[in-house]
Amino acid sequence: MTEKFTGSFTQQESIPAEGIAAANAVMQSGRLHRYNTSGDEIAEAALLEEEFAATVGSKYCLAVASGGYAMTTALRASGVKHGDKVLTNAFTLAPVPGAIAAVGGVPVFVGVTEDLLIDLDDLSTKLDQSKVLLLSHMRGHICDMERLIAMCDAAGVTVIEDCAHTMGAAWNGVPSGRWGRFGCYSTQTYKHINSGEGGFLICDGAEDMARAIMLSGSYMLFEKHRAAPPVETFAKIKYETPNISGRMDNLRAAILRPQLRNLAAQCEKWNARYRVLEKGLADTAGLRLIPRPEKEQFVASSFQFLLLDWEAASVGDVLTRCAARGVELKWFGGAEPKGFTSRYDSWRYAPSSPMPSSDRVLAGIVDMRLPLTFSLDDCAQLARIIRAEVSTVYQGQAVAE
C-alpha cells in the first residue's frame, strides 16, 4: 500500500505555558505598549532585549515589529539613502529586496552557488558598486564568513546580516548576526521563536543603536531601554532622526521570553529532524543534497535539495506526485512567484540582468518546511515518499531519453 503523510506543514508547536501566563498578565495589566510602565516597572520588551543581547553576545538589542522592519532600520541607520545601490543575494525571499526598496535603495543581486550560498566570486566582481551588503543567510545556509568579511572590509563595504533563518546558528563559533555591523532577526510564526510577527536588531555601535531606537519610535523615552547605549549618545541623534514607528509590544515580548530560554534545545530538535531527512535521501539518483561545512553550526527549520538540470515539467511532476501523498514542497524555479517562493527576476521594482549560473541553481531548488510538530518517524516517512517520487520521475526521464 502506498503510504501518505498526514501531518500539517503549517502547524507550529503551541506557545509554552509560561508564555501564555506571561501574556495573560500583560493583558490583565493593560500595559501592552512598551513604554507604558509605572515607577520601577520594567517592560517585557526591555527585558527581552537584554536577554536576546546576552544570548548572542551583542552589546545592544532592539525589539521591533518584524524582521523586515529590522532590515529597513539597519539600512537607514547605516546611511543608505534614496538611489543608493545595495548588494544582496539573488537567492532570498521578498522581504530582503523589499527592505532595500523601502528606504529608496536599488538592489544589486549577487549569484548563488550549488551549495545555496552567496557566490563570493560573483560578489568580488560587484563590491565596487555599493557600500552596503545586505547578506541573507537564506534558509539557514551560512557562507564562509571569514572570507566574506575580509572581502567587504577591504572594499569598505558595510555588512548587514539577515538572520531570519539562522537564529541560534553560528559560523566557526561566532553567532549569526555578530559578523556584520548589524544583525537582523525575525520572530514570525515560521521562524525559530514565534510571536506571529516581530524581530530583533543587534549591534555593538552606540550611535548605530541610538539611531535605530529613535527610528523605531521611542519618542524621547529612550531612557526606558536597557540593552541600549548611554543616554548621552542620544544628545544630537534625538533631534535629527525621524520617528518611523515599528516597536515590539509587551504582549509579543512576553510570549517570546520563555521561548528564547528554550532556543538551544529547540535547535537540537530541528537538527535531529534534518539529519533523519538527510539520511533518508542520501544517494537518491538525480537528487543533490546540500553539504553542511564543518564550521557551520546550522539550525534547520527547513530542508532543501536540488533537482539540478531537470526539465521544469519533471520538477513539477515531482511536486505534484509528492503533494498527492501529503508532502508539500516549494520550488524556486517557477516563472511566476507563488506563496513564499520568488526569484530575483520576479521583483520588477528592482532592475536585474540574467545570471545564467545562478538561474541554473534556482531552477533546481526544492524547499520544505520542517516544523517541530513533525516527529522523527514523520521525517523518515517524508524522506521515503520524496525518495520514491524523485526516483520514479528520474527513471522516467532516463527512459524517455
Q: What is the pLDDT of residue 401?
A: 61
Q: What is the pLDDT of residue 335?
A: 79
Tell me the three cell numbers of residue 96. Answer: 530582503
Mean pLDDT over 64-71 rounds to 98
Q: What is the pLDDT of residue 180?
A: 98
Q: What is the pLDDT of residue 12?
A: 95
Pair 308, 364: CB distance under 8 Å: yes
Pair 142, 298: CB distance under 8 Å: yes
The amino acid present at 314, given as its one-letter code, is S
Closest to 306 (Cα-Cα) out of 270, 358, 346, 370: 358
DSSP states of 63-115: EES-HHHHHHHHHHHTT--TT-EEEEESSS-THHHHHHHHTT-EEEEE-B-TT
Query: Going by CATH, does the domain composed of 263-400 fall within 1.10.8.420?
Result: no
Q: Model confidence over 170-183: pLDDT tens digits?
A: 999 999 999 999 99
Q: What CA–CA distance (Å, rounded) separates 116 from 334?
A: 17
The amino acid present at 373, given as its one-letter code, is T
> Which residues on adjacent β-strands are paired with residue 214?
none
Q: How many CB atoms lie within 10 A of CB 107?
A: 26
Pair 246, 69: CB distance under 8 Å: yes
Q: Model confidence over 226-251: pLDDT tens digits?
A: 999 999 999 999 999 999 999 999 99
- At residue 182, φ and ψ (nearest 5 deg) are -130, 150
Q: What CA–CA distance (Å, rounded) separates 148 from 155?
A: 11
Q: What CA–CA distance (Å, rounded) separates 56 from 265?
A: 15
Q: What is the pLDDT of residue 31?
A: 95
Q: What CA–CA distance (Å, rounded) separates 24 from 362?
A: 45
Q: What is the pLDDT of residue 2?
A: 87
Which positions ≥6 away from 91 have C-beta within 8 Å? 112, 116, 118, 136, 138, 332, 344, 358, 361, 362, 365
Average pLDDT of the chain is: 96
Query: Going by CATH, does the domain composed of 17-261 fall within 3.40.50.800?
Result: no
Which residues of the chain does CATH 3.90.1150.10 include?
263-400
Q: What is the pLDDT of residue 399?
A: 63
Pair 339, 273: CB distance under 8 Å: no
List the end-to-end C-alpha distance of the chain, in Å, as a whole number. Answer: 30
Q: Is the pLDDT of residue 59 over 70?
A: yes
Q: What CA–CA distance (Å, rounded) separates 138 from 113?
A: 12
Q: Model confidence over 93-114: pLDDT tens digits?
A: 999 999 999 999 999 999 999 9
Q: Is the pLDDT of residue 280 over 60?
A: yes
Which residues of the chain does CATH 3.40.640.10 include?
17-261
3-class DSSP state of 120: helix
Q: Is the pLDDT of residue 81 over 90?
A: yes
4-7: long-range contacts, CB 8 A cutoff, minimum separation 24: 4/325, 4/326, 4/385, 5/325, 5/326, 5/327, 5/378, 5/381, 5/382, 5/385, 6/326, 7/326, 7/373, 7/374, 7/378
Q: Is the pLDDT of residue 400 over 70?
A: no
Residue 49: exposed, middle, or buried by beta-carbon count in 10 A (0-12, 13-18, 19+)?
buried
Q: What CA–CA distance (Å, rounded) separates 229 from 184?
A: 18
